Structures are given as C-alpha cells and as structure tokens.
Amino acid sequence: MAATLLAFFFLFIIVCFFLQIHRKKPGTKSITTLFGKCIITCRGDEAKWLRKMMLPYLGPDALSNRYSVTMDVVTRLHIQNHWEGRNEVKVFNTVKLYLFELACPTSNNLPPGSFGWPFLGETLEFIRSQTDGTPERFVRERVERYGSPLVFKTSLLGHPTAIFSGPEGNKFLFGNENKLVAMWLPEAVGRLFGNRCLNTTRGDEAKWLRKTMLPCLGPDALSNRYCIAMDEVTRLHIQSQWEGRSEVTVFDTVKPYLFELACRLFLNLDDPRRVTELGSLFNTFLKGLGSLPIDIPGTQFYRGKRAAIAIKKQLIMIINQRKLTLKQENASSFEDLLSHLLLNSDENGQFLSEMEIANNILLLLFAGHDTSAVSITLLMKCLGEHPDVYKNVLKEQLGILEGKAPGEVLNWEDIQKMRYSWNVVCEVLRLNPPVIGSFREALVDFEYAGYTIPKGWKCTHDTKGRR
C-alpha cells in the first residue's frame, strides 16, 4: 500500500511541475529560478547524467533493496500513532503527513544501525547470540561497527528498536518509566501472561498491582513469613540433592528446588506430585518464552502457550479450593500471596478475578525462577574459582550456625548477619547480571545521546554489552 501511495505522490508532484513549466505567465517566478539547477531544470547530457545518478535511488531496485524496510517501519509507526484505536481519522491530512514522513523520515537524526531484513530485521542474530551463550555479542559487535557506544538502532520481532548500551542506558530507561517509556512485551508474549498482570499493565493499574503485591514480596515478607518455609525446603533439598555427592550440576538441581520453594511460598502447595506436574509444564512454558513468538502448532512457542493454559487451569483449581477454605476458616491461617490477592481489593472495591490472580502468580513464578537459578549457579561457580572468598563465606555461615540451638531454624536476624556473604552475592550479580535486558515502548519522541528515538519505537537496555 505504501509503495502505491508513494508512487501516486511522486506522480502528482511531477505532473504539477510539468503544468507549472508550461503555464509560465508574465510576472510569475520561473520554476527554474525556484529550483535552480536540478533534474527538472536541466536538459541534454546534463539531465541524462543527473537521471543516471538518481536512478539507483528511485527505481524498483531501490524499492526492493533500500526502501522496503524503512517504508515498513514508517508505515507501521504511522498506523500505530495516527490510526490505531481511533474512531475517526481525517484521511487526507493523515495520508499527507504519512507521505511527508515517508519522503523525509526523521531518520537524519535516528541512532546509527541497521534494520536488517524486512520484517525479521536482526531478530535471528539477536536470538542466536542469546542461545549460543554470548548474549553480549550482539550489542558489542554493533557498538563497535557503528561507533556509537550509547545507543544504536535495529529491528527486532518486526519493530524498530533502540538498544541502549551500558549503565547510562539502564538508568535512563528505568528512570523514565511511565514518563518517556513504558513496559512493553511482544503481543504474543503478553497474551501468554494475560490481562491485569504486572507486566502487561501500565499506569495506575500497574501501580495498584505493585502496591498490592509488595507486602508478599518485600523484605518484611521475607522476615515475617517466609524464613521458616525457606529453611525447611532448603534443608530437605540439600539432604536429598547435595549431601554425599562428589559432583552436582548446579543449574539443573536448583531449578526444581526454586520451583518447589515458590509453590510453597506463594500458594502453600507442598504436594510433591502436583508440584512436579506443574514444574514440568512450567519448563515447557519457559522454553516457549525463550523462542521466537510464532504461534502455530509445532513451534516451541505454541507448546509454551498450551503449557501456560494448562498451568493457569491448575492454578484456578487451587484458587477455588483456597476460596472455599477461606470461607470456612480464619483468613489469617493462610498468609501467603494467594490469600493476600484473594482478600485485597482496589480502591473501588474491585477484586482480581481468578484468572487475573493466576496470571500474576504465573508471572511471579517466571520472574523469580530463572533469575534466581542463574544467580545461584553463578555464585557457586565464582566460589569455586575463588577459594579464598569461599573460605570467608563458609566461616561467616559456620559462625552463624554456632550461635543456634540444634535444629533451630533460620531467622531474619541470622540473615542480617550475613554481610560478607551478601556482598559476595552482590558482586556476582554485578559481574554477571542474570537479566540481560527487557523491553520498553517510547511513549513520545525523545532525545538520547543526541539522537531522536521516535514515539512507538521499542527500547531495550543491555546490561552486559559495554562495561
């Protein structure tokens, strides 16, 4: 469609010029004076040469090789910004604006970079760098290629995207949440999590959700509610999976442990059969999330979607059971996230539906799972590589243990004494951030590092690319 409109536009301009040249009245400024020496005012060899020079930029080859991606990007953004969600559009004015955007895109001031292939953009290279274990490669190569250390442009999953590199970029994006940018997920991924979920809502609703969940996720929850259950699940895990073994594959071992812990803390679920069943669905869901969001049977993403539906079905059964229990018993006997979400309404007295609660629990299982599993694995690796640090951590832990009676569980005071261990964890996270980036959407045109990031562009930070 864009190509046809563009062709009409140029045709229209050429016809106007032609009429103007042949209608020259006395007193009217000649078209030659207006334009000076250019393709429509030259004749003979000079005109031929100019035409030859311009042809590569105006003919069908240019359309297929040079312009298709830019046209695709400008058209998408234009539709998103001027058509989507509107009941009425002034077609002539809007199309005129669109054609202007197309003929002189603001690209003069866009960050350097490449949009890659039409639609696919540079998505495959981006995903490849994640799956081959060098997620920083994608960013590092481009930062070097374009000589722009703070930001470069690319196209991911069909969207023009600005990649903000380094700590300044992180700070900028996180510091401008809901001002210049807002949380964004590819549509298909957002559908996996569902409505009224922390990562699919914006503005006041997101604020309310955060406020509602905080009592179950902040340090108070850790100190008052979770310590005992964490101690119990961790002891059993160490006894069954670590003790007496000369070798342990840390990542594979801690994953089921963390899932079991999350089920216990958020849902008070400790039936091993149900936890294992949910855990296996959850792994399929995670693989789907990490794949290209192509929602057709046979793809990993499709299997991930089916798994998300099955998990939510089980969560809804658990939620309904809990509702019955809460009706029959004292509410305070179940002080976990699930009860908290069932018992708390927003300022209009509206409660989250069963599905919305399931959506948010699935998000929390996801948010806390791989991040924690990767962090523990990297911590073990670093301790193995630095025996002196390991010795100090062990000394601190044994010191805390000495002050406790046999069988006495861990408490908040004990955790606060773990200063050296905590610093080691922070340093491991600083050197190996487990989250390498997340997406935002530009809410308005804004400037960064001297470049314009247009409204509607997706933005992502990169924690590993430039250090």
The stretch near ligand HEM (CB under 6 A) out of 70-78, 161-169, 269-277, 367-375 is: 367-375
Nearest to 295 by CA among 315, 281, 282, 309: 309
Nearest residue relative to ligand HEM (C-beta): 368
- Position 371 contacts ligand HEM (CB under 6 A): yes
Tokens of 303: 């299997």
Nearest to 466 by CA among 70, 166, 53, 230: 166
In terms of DSSP H, where are the helices of 290-344?
300-328, 337-343
Cα Rg, the chain, nearest whole Å? 29
- Position 267 contacts ligand HEM (CB under 6 A): no
Quick one: 292 or 367, whose CB is closer to ligand HEM? 367
CB distance 10 to 67 below 8 Å: no
- Position 375 contacts ligand HEM (CB under 6 A): yes
Tokens of 358: 């399931």
Which residue type occupies 240? S
| Total residues binding ligand HEM (CB under 6 A) | 12
C-alpha–C-alpha distance, residues 236 and 326, integer Å = 29
Quick one: 41 or 201, whose CB is closer to ligand HEM? 201
CB distance 341 to 212 below 8 Å: yes
- CB burial of 114-146 (b: ≥16 within 10 Å; e: otherwise) equals ebbeeebbbbebbbebeeeeebbbbbbebbeee
- Position 68 contacts ligand HEM (CB under 6 A): no
Question: How are strands ordered across the β-sheet holding 181-183?
Answer: 151-156, 159-165, 458-462, 439-442, 181-183
C-alpha–C-alpha distance, residues 152 and 142, integer Å = 8
- Position 79 contacts ligand HEM (CB under 6 A): no
Backbone phi, then psi, for 33, in 5-degree steps? -65, -40
Q: Which of 32, 75, 325, 372 binds ligand HEM (CB under 6 A)?
A: 372
Quick one: 217 or 292, whose CB is closer to ligand HEM? 217
Which residue type occupies 70? T
Report the nearest approach of ligand HEM to the CB of residue 413 (Å): 21
Report the nearest approach of ligand HEM to the CB of residue 435 (Å): 4
Quick one: 329 or 427, whose CB is closer to ligand HEM? 427
Q: For 352, how many CA atoms within 13 A lie in the half-sphere containing its CB?
A: 30
- CA 230 vs CA 98, 241, 262, 341, 424: distances in Å: 57, 16, 9, 21, 20
Report the nearest approach of ligand HEM to the CB of residue 434 (Å): 5
Q: Mark 167-206 with x for binding to ligand HEM (rule: CB under 6 A) and - for no binding.
A: -------------------------------x--------
Cβ-Cβ contacts under 8 Å for 366 (sequence gap 6 or more): 285, 286, 289
Quick one: 71 or 373, whose CB is closer to ligand HEM? 373
- Position 292 contacts ligand HEM (CB under 6 A): no
Give the SS3 label for residue 431: helix
The stretch near ligand HEM (CB under 6 A) out of 365-373, 377-385, 396-404, 450-458 is: 365-373
Q: For 386, how many CA atoms within 13 A lie in the half-sphere containing its CB?
A: 13
- Position 364 contacts ligand HEM (CB under 6 A): yes
The stretch near ligand HEM (CB under 6 A) out of 45-53, 294-302, 371-379, 405-413 is: 371-379
Quick one: 195 or 371, whose CB is closer to ligand HEM? 371
Report the nearest approach of ligand HEM to the CB of residue 344 (Å): 16
Quick one: 439 or 451, whose CB is closer to ligand HEM? 439
Per CB under 6 A, contacts with ligand HEM among 114-153 are none
Give the SS3 label for residue 91: helix
- Position 368 contacts ligand HEM (CB under 6 A): yes
Quick one: 102 or 374, whose CB is closer to ligand HEM? 374
Per CB under 6 A, contacts with ligand HEM among 418-437 are 434-435
Quick one: 210 or 391, whose CB is closer to ligand HEM? 210
- Position 216 contacts ligand HEM (CB under 6 A): no
C-alpha–C-alpha distance, residues 436 and 456, integer Å = 22
Report the nearest approach of ligand HEM to the CB of residue 217 (Å): 6
Quick one: 63 or 435, whose CB is closer to ligand HEM? 435
Quick one: 110 or 362, whose CB is closer to ligand HEM? 362
Interacting residue ranges for ligand HEM, rule: CB under 6 A: 198, 210, 217, 364, 367-368, 371-372, 375, 434-435, 438
